[in-house]
Amino acid sequence: MLVTGGGRGIGAAVARAAVAAGSTVVVNFAASAAAAEALVGELGHGSVALGADVADEGAVVQMFEQIDSTFGRIDALVNNAGIAGGYGGLEAVSAEMLARLFAVNVGGAFLCAREAAARMRTDRGGSGGAIVNISSKAAVLGGAGEWVHYAATKGALDTMTTGLAKELAPFGVRVNAVRPGLIESGFHDHAPPGRLERMAPQIPMQRSGTAAEVAAAVVWLASPAASYVTGSFVDVAGGR
């Protein structure tokens, strides 16, 4: 399993859960090399860390070539790498911010899905596989006043999930998404202090979620237990 942006937060939780379920994990990172290397040391089980900016096509191709030479195959891709793009309303949006935001959150997911699917497709010599996109409940709720720009990238990711699920289903590749809600992670470091505490009362379950709760859904979707599930969205959002 390749987990992009896997050195910390939800990505790291997915890596831990995947190894616990028996997978070998490739932890991709862009900037957090130390965190990724530390995580791989914790994981064991043949797991490795590979650096690549998913928005850089050449770096993505090289990363998959390294996976080919090290493992000879890929069974699952978790498109987790993403950036927040800054906190604020519409007035905070700039062309530069949007370009980078969409390049990482949408373009990176497309590039990684392209390379993974090329290796997984049964019509091209692969054995099938699973792609799980980490979307956000913001794709549905809109992120008004805080992260409409971020929510828009996740809406694009949801459309990609639906389309690629239909395109790749005949060739043994399942594509699904998990939409986390208010999750305890470093994402909230981009917002004014206390966001988790302010938002929790708005959640029907009256609490924030954990990265481990998101990871459980991701690992299930990537596993044979979800063999007849594609084009689906699992909300891990406490009922919101």
Q: What is the CATH number of the domain that holds 225?
A: 3.40.50.720
Domain with 116, as residue range(s), is 2-236
Per-residue model confidence (pLDDT) at position 187? 83
Per-residue model confidence (pLDDT) at position 85? 93
Phi/psi region, residue 207 (left: phi>0; alpha: psi -120 to 50; beta: rest), is beta
* Structural contact between residues 176 and 162, judged by C-beta atoms closer than 8 angstroms: no
Beta-bridged to residue 28, according to DSSP, are 50
d(CA 206, CA 11) in angstroms, rounded, equals 24
Fill in the amino acid letter for 78. V
Looking at 29, 64, 150, 187, which residue is catalytic?
Answer: 150
Per-residue model confidence (pLDDT) at position 99? 98
Residues 6+ apart with CB under 8 A from 40: 27, 47, 48, 49
d(CA 62, CA 64) in angstroms, rounded, equals 5
Per-residue model confidence (pLDDT) at position 108? 98
Residue 150 designated active-site? yes
Per-residue pLDDT of the chain in tens (240 residues, 90 and over written 9): 999 999 999 999 999 999 999 999 999 999 989 999 999 999 999 999 999 999 999 999 999 999 999 999 999 999 999 999 999 999 999 999 999 999 999 999 999 999 999 999 999 999 999 999 999 999 999 999 999 999 999 999 999 999 999 999 999 999 999 999 999 988 888 788 899 999 999 999 999 999 999 999 999 999 999 999 999 999 999 999
First to last CA, the chain: 30
Query: Total domain count for the chain?
Result: 1
* Structural contact between residues 151 and 97, judged by C-beta atoms closer than 8 angstroms: no
Per-residue model confidence (pLDDT) at position 192? 87
Per-residue model confidence (pLDDT) at position 190? 77
Nearest to 127 by CA among 58, 177, 164, 173: 173
What single DSSP character describes residue 103?
Answer: I
Q: Dihedral, CA atoms, 129, 84, 42, 208, nearest 10 degrees?
A: -90
